[in-house]
Amino acid sequence: MAENIHLEIVTPEKSVVSEDAKIVMAPGTLGEFGVLSGHTPFMTSLKVGAVRYVDTSGKERFVFVSGGFAEALPDRVTILAESAERRRDIDIDRAKAAQKRAEERLARERDEEIDYTRAKAALMRAILRIRLAETRSI
Ligand code: ATP
């Protein structure tokens, strides 16, 4: 039987996941990748999206990550994310409020006070949080 791989997901604020998994899938900037125990070591940056893993009981788990880095070693995957939360901890109302704020900022044309890049990134985080919380897939 295949061995488990240890998954760590940490942010500057907290440890979000620290447990063994059968497989880990993550949104690399070059595309989604999957890691099983014994994988060749590599590092990659991550897009905003969902880390999915199958826990040792066989249940599929979802964790929102707002970009960051992943390091895969033969026996572990470490994900350093700017922010991350398990699917069940996503506050949909908060994400909807963030979406509305970002959309209102982006709707104001040529306003020097507005950082459009930042507003677009906030909008993307909000939309993907809502999608993950409501549908499990992003
Ligand atoms: P907001 O404007 O609502 O703070 P944001 O996208 O700017 O949203 P982040 O900077 O990504 O927030 O995250 C800041 C902290 O708040 C992190 O700890 C993150 O896990 C948490 N967080 C942000 N939005 C949500 C949410 N909708 N549900 C649960 N936790 C959230």
- Mapped onto helix, strand or coil, the DSSP state of residue 30 is coil
Superfamily of domain 5-87: F0F1 ATP synthase delta/epsilon subunit, N-terminal (2.60.15.10)
The pTM of the full predicted model, rounded to 2 decimals, is 0.92
Give the pLDDT score at 56: 96
Which fold does the domain 91-134 belong to in CATH?
1.20.5
Which atom of ligand 1 is nearest to 64's Cα? Answer: 20
Structural domain boundaries in the chain: 5-87, 91-134
- Amino acid 40 reads T
Note down pLDDT in tens along the chain; length 138 residues.
579 999 999 999 999 999 999 999 999 999 999 999 999 999 999 999 999 999 999 999 999 999 999 999 999 999 999 999 999 999 999 999 999 999 999 998 777 888 899 999 999 999 999 999 998 766
Q: Whose CA is nearest to atom 13 of ligand 1?
A: 83
Q: Which ligand 1 atom sits nearest the alpha carbon of residue 126?
A: 6
According to the model, what pLDDT value does residue 138 have?
A: 64
Give 83 Cα–ligand 1 centroid separation in angstroms: 7
Q: How many CA atoms, within 13 angstroms, populate the side-chain half-sphere of residue 68?
A: 20
Query: Do the Cβ atoms of 21 and 55 come closer than 8 Å?
Result: yes
